[in-house]
Amino acid sequence: GENVEQHPSTLSVQEGDSAVIKCTYSDSASNYFPWYKQELGKRPQLIIDIRSNVGEKKDQRIAVTLNKTAKHFSLHITETQPEDSAVYFCAATQGSARQLTFGSGTQLTVLP
């Protein structure tokens, strides 16, 4: 089955700086890669996703890059704000399956 590894587990940045979180996946058949933000006790919220036919996607301060050859994808948050503080999860789905395999999560703290 799919295995998703995520780094770092914790990340602290100063407000206004950029944050980068990286994930690798094992199954070359995976074709959909969402990123979620989860606040304590709440459901995961999709912040951006990318499909395997695209190398990069951007939405305002958030961007995701995908390297299919290397089987890794990254989340980039620019101009970080304290409200960006949360746990971020990457995930992958394979082929026609819709179940998500999640990374281990990154606790992002943006220091004011």
Partner 1 sequence: GAVVSQHPSWVICKSGTSVKIECRSLDFQATTMFWYRQFPKQSLMLMATSNEGSKATYEQGVEKDKFLINHASLTLSTLTVTSAHPEDSSFYICSANPGGADTEAFFGQGTRLTVV
CB 104 within 8 A of CB 6: yes
Q: Is residue 11 part of the contact set for partner 1 (CB under 8 A)?
A: no
Q: Does 97 bind partner 1 (CB under 8 A)?
A: yes
Task: Map the footprint of partner 1 across residues 15-54, applying CB under 8 A.
Answer: 31-32, 34, 41-44, 46, 49, 51
Measured from the CB atom, is 68 or 78 closer to partner 1?
Answer: 68
Interaction between residue 104 and partner 1 (CB under 8 A): yes
In three-state form (DSSP H/G/I as H, E/B as E, the rest C), the secondary structure along 39-60 is CCCCCCEEEEEEECCCCEEEEC
